[in-house]
A and B are shown apart, each in its own frame.
Chain A
């Protein structure tokens, strides 16, 4: 079995040569497949796209406001509808501190809310959902000496932290504008504990969780996701061209996106094979996509294939689980083929 990125490379090169209307798009994507991953940020106006973009600056991937091959979709509430391509989307519960009323544990509470929603309907619309309060993470990196002094003062004045009005009356507009009341509360807590404020803010703001999620869901499988995005991008320009049917066939039969969806479902707890979950994760490539990494738990691919194939017809499992087992079995099948070559 040839993998999706390789097939896509071939198709794009053919499109450049054979399909003039799609040529420049295909050429553009050929260039992009080799470059850094670009993560788009989408969401309603006022949801805080640019703050999230700032919070993600300086990472090994590019961040662009607007849609891209993979995207973070920002929402204010976990029950907002998300109408995008699930396998290339992470939903970000932006301004998560507001959901929890700006309490110190607000983002953690919002993360629990997000996790609960991912188990349900939200999980069908994205790979995962992360709660983020981006403002404190961005502001934490720009704290001045005065800000630090103000934070130290505030540590002994809990009443000042009751409302943003009191805070502004006490320390001026700069600090609340930089961190928000939630950020100030967390920072004061960090000062009290004697911890490092900027990194603590990044941690408490959920930005680290977001980076982890991007790493797991986008960067680890970026080749597959970008190949898929490239094929989706040239599809409209190829309309009517003989190549279009082939692109459609490749898109419809690509197995990797199904693996990614199933991994997301297992992670969210929407699908479970009990104690076989870990083996399924390995086989699906969560711990590395090389045949050796995939087979680290299972051993012989042929036996693994037989075991998972049996699950697809097992009456002890629900229809959804049987379908999920079929996806794992298909991954095993590919591994059997690779093994034969080696």
Chain B
């Protein structure tokens, strides 16, 4: 563009060739646009597309010529009536009940544009040739507020969101209610340029008192807004009769003065304040969650994970302690068991031996040996069975106890181990050498006895004159022989019994030694197997616990690292947003 083509309205004295374009931009783009754009970018960065859309709409609205003054308030306060009175024409429908359902935009037009009957809730546009509107004012009549969340309220709030300035309407028949004050507070946050019109002053004798009370309440609520008492009825009458006095009474002169001063005198400032308020609210929505996140981040990291980690460490320690304890216990138990086993075996075998003694005091081993051998075998087998059964039982108990301590939760009672318990014993009773008293021996013993008897009595009878061999000596010899045989038999039986007892004794001792040794060996083997197994399981448990503690610790560390990174990020974002907010505050 050449310097010569600068429009007449442009700042010609700033312009020289080559820089005109930049300068034109500097001069025509208001500074608040940068702030708004920065806010939009910040919203986009934080993925708040809803805010981005709203701000873009707002930006477009603010860049449009003409400042929108939204007339807002609760129903029945006379909003539409006030708009009509302001422009001196029936542009908005008025009635005694809820009348305004859709917003009406009243703009400047060279010729009155016809008012179309509103269809549903779509906004209506009206054009009027009025100086006030021509100065760049757009009046928006909005539906009255209703219950929170009802469609009418939503529509009213939607209109408010695009306001450059707000004219809140209340009436003199009652003082500002809590709800109205809430609305005013909300409005002044949304859009800082606020005016309050107190309508119906033609109706209420005490309107001056109401106006004072309302001003006090506004100040209390911290809402900076001038309150102008007006009467739409008087204004309408004044417009009809072109009565300046009446117009002054209606308060509209002052209201229009206020509008000119606060809105039209510096429209750029109004737009800047509205933009700042909107940006500020959007920023607040970005800052609040970030700040909450930042505050939460400053608190100690995930306490649950930390507690898990500590409990895992404690578990490892506990497992180690327990391992030492149950090993000692197992050794003690097995020692006791071996002593008891020895005693039990000895006790049982002694009892057998006593029975054997009793038995062989009477019985002749020569005749009953076979029978005795069977009995002995059965008895010892029974002893072995009872003893090993008892052993298995005791060991099972020990193993269960140890397993409960060493392998908590692991239901590993090593049953298969126990099967190896007890000793095996198969030896049969060896038959001792039992001398039989054979007939030849009997004859020999008899002869030896009878010989001496014969000799003794023969010699004695020779003194009596009898021959050496006489009937008496023969009789004595026979008697002596018989007695010898008898005595010899008795002595032999005793000897046989003694031999049998000794043999039984030796056999039982053998059994005691051999079976006892085997049983003890087996017990020790099983003890070792059990110990090894439990150690192994306990070890793996310990390993798992240690591993889980390690994993939790790693996770904690990673989490903490992530948190730190996130916190740094959040802090950076927050700082950036707070800086932007400071700029916005300055622009207000």
Contacts and interface: CB of A to CB of B under 8 A. Distances in A.
Contacts of A181: 202-203, 205
A193 interface: no
B201 interface: yes
Nearest to A98: B173
Contacts of A163: 201-203, 231, 233-234, 249
A233 B76 CA distance: 38
B98 interface: yes
A164 B97 contact: no
Interface in A97-117: 97-102, 106, 109-110, 112-113, 116-117
Given A110-B96, A113-B96, A113-B97, A79 B204 contact: no
Interface in B215-262: 231, 233-234, 237, 246, 249
A168 interface: yes
- Residue from B78, B81, B234 having most chain A Cβ neighbours under 10 A: B234
Interface string A1-29: 00000000000000000000000000000
Contacts of A101: 78, 81, 200, 203, 233
A99 B97 CA distance: 8
Contacts of A98: 171, 173, 200, 203
Interface in B90-149: 96-98, 146
Contacts of B249: 163, 165-166
A40 interface: no
28 contacts: A76-B173, A77-B75, A79-B98, A79-B146, A95-B173, A98-B171, A98-B173, A98-B200, A98-B203, A99-B76, A99-B96, A101-B233, A102-B202, A106-B96, A109-B96, A110-B96, A162-B246, A163-B201, A163-B231, A163-B234, A163-B249, A164-B204, A166-B249, A168-B205, A173-B205, A176-B205, A181-B202, A181-B205
A195 B171 CA distance: 33
Interface string A161-182: 0111110100001001100111
B202 A164 contact: yes
Contacts of A165: 201-202, 249
Contact of B205 (A109, A112, A117, A164): A164
B174 interface: yes
Contacts, number: 64
Nearest to A182: B203
Given A76-B174, A164-B201, 10 more contacts: A100-B96, A101-B81, A101-B233, A116-B97, A162-B202, A162-B234, A162-B237, A163-B234, A165-B249, A181-B202
A140 interface: no
Contacts of A110: 96
A136 interface: no
A315 interface: no
Interface in B38-59: none
A44 to B, nearest CB: 10
- Residue from A79, A163, A168, A176 having most chain B Cβ neighbours under 10 A: A163
A78 B203 contact: no
A46 interface: yes
Chain B interface SS verdict (over half): loop
Contacts of A116: 97
Contacts of B146: 79
A199 B32 CA distance: 65
A177 B97 contact: no
Interface in B135-182: 146, 171, 173-174
Chain A interface SS verdict (over half): helix
A177 B75 CA distance: 26
B578 to A, nearest CB: 43
Interface residues of B, number: 24
Contacts of A46: 174
Contacts of B173: 76, 95, 98
Contact of A102 (B75, B98, B203): B203
Contacts of B231: 163
Contacts of A177: 205
Nearest to A99: B96
A99 B203 CA distance: 11
A216 to B, nearest CB: 24
A78 to B, nearest CB: 7
A163 B205 CA distance: 9
A76 B171 CA distance: 13
Contacts of B200: 98, 101
Interface string A51-88: 00000000000000000000000001111000000000
Interface string A286-304: 0000000000000000000
A173 B204 CA distance: 12
A100 B97 CA distance: 9
Nearest to A163: B202
Contacts of A182: 203
A77 B75 CA distance: 9
A112 B81 CA distance: 20
Contacts of A113: 96-97
B205 A77 contact: no
A177 B206 CA distance: 10
B202 A77 contact: no
A25 to B, nearest CB: 36
Interface in B11-65: none
Contacts of B96: 99-100, 106, 109-110, 112-113
Contacts of A102: 202-203
Nearest to B207: A164
Contacts of B205: 164, 168, 173, 176-177, 180-181
A168 B173 CA distance: 17
Query: What are the 7 A-B residue pairs with the smallest beta carbon separation, nearest first?
Result: A163-B202, A113-B97, A102-B203, A109-B96, A98-B173, A164-B205, A100-B96
Nearest to A167: B205
- Residue from A78, A95, A101, A182 having most chain B Cβ neighbours under 10 A: A101
Nearest to B78: A101
A166 B237 CA distance: 14
A97 B205 CA distance: 14
A97 to B, nearest CB: 8
Contacts of A77: 75-76
Interface string B60-86: 000000000000000110100100000
Interface string B310-334: 0000000000000000000000000
Contact of B75 (A79, A112, A166): A79
B201 to A, nearest CB: 7
B154 to A, nearest CB: 16
A296 B174 CA distance: 50
A180 B237 CA distance: 20
Contacts of B78: 101
A157 B111 CA distance: 37
- Residue from A76, A95, A102, A165 having most chain B Cβ neighbours under 10 A: A165
A3 to B, nearest CB: 40
Contacts of B76: 77, 99
A62 to B, nearest CB: 29
B203 A164 contact: yes
Contacts of A162: 202, 233-234, 237, 246
Nearest to A106: B96
A5 to B, nearest CB: 39
A117 B97 CA distance: 9
A46 to B, nearest CB: 6
B533 to A, nearest CB: 68
- Residue from B96, B174, B234 having most chain A Cβ neighbours under 10 A: B96
Contacts of A100: 96
A98 B237 CA distance: 18
Interface in B526-544: none
A164 B249 CA distance: 11
B253 to A, nearest CB: 15
Contacts of B97: 78, 113, 116-117
Interface string B476-512: 0000000000000000000000000000000000000
A102 B207 CA distance: 15
B90 to A, nearest CB: 15
A317 to B, nearest CB: 30
